[in-house]
């Protein structure tokens, strides 16, 4: 076999490499190498064959870096890092290594298609952190994290199983230095401040790049962007990332914003010390969200039952327990609706007994509204059922309107009509506390030698105005 003259992909297609890898097609091309789809001739196993470009083969530094990538990957044994099977150099001068073949799509494609749900994003974020934690434990720093280098494959029913790849510019502990002082490696949009300055990097540089990936997954855009390379590096070094603007379907991911912002601290010492700490933070945020979801299920049950939605309410709540993102109407027709304990379901009883299946299939997903108050901490109730303390998110009624009351001790309550349409956030400004009633002045009769001092009897204190009486005052919350 002769040495391939072509520096790019098509040159090896149809050839047998190292006597055992039959090259079928080109999968991709990078700065150092070309990746082919190949089949092991004896085993019939499909693999990814990465070959050093011929025009780079005579550059000793590039060749050593190519070898270093293979060694780096071989040191990491983790399900979320691509696995290396073989490495070598043929008699014809072809330097290669063999990796597991990955079907699926890149994280870049998933972000571009806007196809990731909040649940997907949480799982992907944790999986990337776990893979990088394993890499760092093996003494490998990636240094070029970006969505293009994260692949999503189908594995055990999971269509977004993470595989981290392309460790071509990885820094490996114990390996001789292959870069010049001040050399910049990485992709500018995902580069840490220390990378942008050409400084030495450690695991916290990968944490910064990871923070940018999380930011982009959640918001759909990059925190820093510019047509100017110099300006982009300046942003990475000096500019604070803008607050994350969340679409309604991504609002549950707001709990991840503090994690993202800590990853994006300009000083490496202000970031997480390692990915184990990132994983712990992700798990805490998910636990809080899960707890809030359980509360939301109960609150949604209370609102729907109080609104007289019958079997639809129970079908809705039953299906909600299978997801951590939204309250969805998808109860199986064979499942009998079971009301939650704290819910007052009497108004819905006739409907449940009469048409349990037909009603459940007709349920629509409710619109949610977040109710806030000024000052916060007010009780929100519907027809006597307390839904929570502000700020609280509740579902709107499907049809018509219901009277919702917001009340804080010592202040007149606000009562207003809540219908099926309107803004997704509602601020209720509560009036000042009621003035305390003034006690009547005590009077004393003129003093005589025979008549003792008498004090006029206290009149009864006025009865405080009750919430029920004030509840008849309907206030338009949007008018203030």
Helices (H), 224-379: 229-238, 257-263, 275-306, 311-320, 349-354, 356-361
Other CB atoms within a 10 A radius of the CB of residue 89 amount to 15
- What 3-state DSSP class applies to 97? strand
Looking at residue 91, its pLDDT comes to: 85
Looking at residue 161, its pLDDT comes to: 97
For residue 461, pLDDT over 80 is answered with no
* Better-predicted residue by pLDDT, 382 or 100: 100
For residue 325, pLDDT over 50 is answered with no
Among 272-276, 326-330, 386-390, the range with the most confident prediction by mean pLDDT is 272-276
Last residue of a domain, one of 46, 78, 100: 100
For residue 106, pLDDT over 60 is answered with yes
CATH label of the domain that carries residue 402? 2.60.40
Decide if 123 is inside a domain.
yes
Average pLDDT over residues 61-68: 81
* Better-predicted residue by pLDDT, 125 or 351: 125
* Better-predicted residue by pLDDT, 357 or 425: 425
* Better-predicted residue by pLDDT, 5 or 222: 222
Same domain assignment for residues 195 and 257: yes
Same domain assignment for residues 430 and 480: yes
For residue 406, pLDDT over 60 is answered with yes
Same domain assignment for residues 200 and 250: yes
Decide if 122 is inside a domain.
yes
Is 270 a residue of the active site? no
CB 367 within 8 A of CB 421: yes
Same domain assignment for residues 331 and 299: yes
Decide if 451 is inside a domain.
no
For residue 275, pLDDT over 90 is answered with yes
For residue 291, pLDDT over 80 is answered with no
**67 phi and psi angles, rounded to 5 deg:** -65, -40
Looking at residue 122, its pLDDT comes to: 96
Decide if 144 is inside a domain.
yes
The owner of tokens 């990538």 is 69
User: Domain span at residue 146?
Assistant: 105-273
The owner of tokens 């063999």 is 98
For residue 123, pLDDT over 80 is answered with yes
Same domain assignment for residues 116 and 225: yes
For residue 346, pLDDT over 50 is answered with no
Among 86, 120, 144, 424, the one annotated catalytic = 144
The owner of tokens 């951590």 is 324
Please choose, from the candidates 277, 256, 147, 108, the residue with its C-alpha nearest in 3D space to the C-alpha of residue 204. 277
For residue 268, pLDDT over 60 is answered with yes
For residue 216, pLDDT over 50 is answered with yes
Decide if 265 is inside a domain.
yes
Round to whole Å and give the CA distance between 378 and 415: 12
Same domain assignment for residues 31 and 90: yes
For residue 175, pLDDT over 50 is answered with no
286 confidence band (pLDDT: 50, 70, 90): confident
* Interior/surface letters 359-375, b for 16+ CB within 10 angstroms, e for the rest: bbeebeebebbebbbee
- What 3-state DSSP class applies to 54? helix
Span of 60-74, 100-114, 204-218 with lowest mean pLDDT: 60-74
pTM of the model: 0.60
Decide if 196 is inside a domain.
yes
Same domain assignment for residues 141 and 170: yes
Looking at residue 292, its pLDDT comes to: 54
Same domain assignment for residues 406 and 361: no
Last residue of a domain, one of 313, 337, 366: 366
Same domain assignment for residues 154 and 27: no
Same domain assignment for residues 190 and 333: no
Kindly state the DSSP code that residue 463 receives in the 8-state scheme.
P
* Better-predicted residue by pLDDT, 384 or 50: 50
- Total of domains in the chain: 4
CATH label of the domain that carries residue 144? 1.10.510.10
Last residue of a domain, one of 100, 126, 146: 100
Average pLDDT over residues 425-439: 76
Decide if 283 is inside a domain.
no
Contacts of 52 (CB under 8 A, 6+ apart): 32, 33, 62, 63, 66, 94, 95, 96
269 confidence band (pLDDT: 50, 70, 90): very high
The mean predicted confidence, pLDDT, of the chain is 76
CB 214 within 8 A of CB 223: no
Same domain assignment for residues 340 and 404: no
Prior bond to 375 cis, omega within 30? Answer: yes
171 confidence band (pLDDT: 50, 70, 90): low
Among 36-40, 157-161, 349-353, the range with the most confident prediction by mean pLDDT is 36-40
Same domain assignment for residues 29 and 123: no
Round to whole Å and give the CA distance between 353 and 360: 12
* Better-predicted residue by pLDDT, 146 or 410: 146
Round to whole Å and give the CA distance between 142 and 418: 52
Looking at residue 85, its pLDDT comes to: 92
Decide if 28 is inside a domain.
yes
Kindly state the DSSP code that residue 167 receives in the 8-state scheme.
-
75 confidence band (pLDDT: 50, 70, 90): confident
What is the percentage of the chain residues whose pLDDT exceeds 70?
67
Contacts of 51 (CB under 8 A, 6+ apart): 12, 17, 33, 34, 35, 36, 94, 95, 96
* Better-predicted residue by pLDDT, 309 or 220: 220
CATH label of the domain that carries residue 68? 3.30.200.20
* Better-predicted residue by pLDDT, 465 or 50: 50
List the 46-52 sheet strands across, edge first: 16-17, 21-29, 33-40, 46-52, 95-100, 84-89
């Amino acid at each position: 076999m002769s040495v391939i003259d072509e520096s790019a992909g098509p040159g090896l297609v149809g050839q047998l490499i190292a006597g055992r890898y039959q090259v079928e097609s080109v999968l991709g091309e990078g700065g150092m190498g070309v990746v082919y789809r190949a089949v092991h001739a004896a085993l019939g196993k499909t693999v990814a064959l990465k070959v050093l470009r011929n025009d780079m083969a005579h550059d000793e530094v590039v060749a050593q870096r190519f070898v270093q990538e293979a060694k780096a990957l071989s040191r990491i044994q983790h399900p979320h890092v691509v696995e290396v099977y073989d490495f070598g150099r043929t008699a014809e001068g072809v330097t290669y290594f063999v990796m597991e073949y990955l079907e699926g799509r890149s994280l870049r494609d998933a972000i571009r298609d806007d196809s990731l749900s909040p649940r997907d994003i949480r799982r992907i974020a944790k999986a990337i952190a776990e893979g990088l934690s394993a890499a760092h434990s093996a003494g490998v720093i990636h240094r070029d994290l970006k969505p293009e280098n994260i692949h999503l494959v189908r594995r055990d029913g999971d269509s977004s199983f993470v595989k981290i790849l392309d460790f071509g510019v990885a820094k490996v502990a114990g390996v001789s230095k292959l870069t010049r002082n001040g050399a910049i490696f990485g992709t500018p949009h995902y580069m840490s401040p220390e990378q942008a300055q050409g400084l030495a990097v450690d695991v916290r540089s990968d944490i910064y790049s990871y923070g940018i990936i999380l930011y982009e997954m959640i918001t759909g855009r990059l925190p820093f962007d510019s047509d100017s390379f110099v300006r982009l590096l300046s942003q990475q070094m000096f500019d604070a990332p803008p607050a994350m603007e969340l679409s309604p379907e991504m609002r549950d991911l707001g709990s991840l914003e503090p994690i993202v912002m800590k990853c994006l601290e300009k000083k490496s010492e202000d970031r997480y010390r390692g990915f184990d700490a990132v994983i712990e933070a992700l798990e805490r945020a998910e636990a809080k969200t899960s707890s809030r979801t359980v509360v939301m299920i109960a609150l949604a049950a209370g609102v729907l039952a109080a609104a007289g939605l019958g079997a639809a309410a129970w079908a809705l709540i039953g299906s909600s327990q299978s997801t951590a993102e939204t309250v969805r109407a998808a109860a199986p027709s064979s499942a009998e609706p079971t009301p939650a304990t704290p819910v007052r379901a009497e108004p819905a009883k006739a409907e449940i007994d009469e048409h349990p299946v037909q009603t459940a299939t007709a349920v629509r997903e409710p619109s949610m509204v977040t109710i806030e108050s000024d000052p916060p901490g007010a009780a929100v109730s519907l027809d006597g059922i307390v839904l929570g303390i502000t700020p609280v998110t509740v579902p709107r009624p499907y049809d018509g309107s219901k009277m919702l009351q917001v009340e804080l001790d010592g202040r007149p309550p606000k009562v207003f009509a809540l219908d099926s349409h309107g803004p997704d956030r509602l601020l209720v400004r509560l009036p000042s506390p009621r003035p305390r009633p003034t006690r009547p002045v005590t009077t004393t009769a003129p003093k005589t030698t025979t008549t003792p001092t008498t004090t006029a009897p206290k009149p009864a204190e006025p009865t405080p105005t009750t919430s029920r009486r004030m509840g008849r005052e309907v206030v338009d919350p949007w008018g203030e």
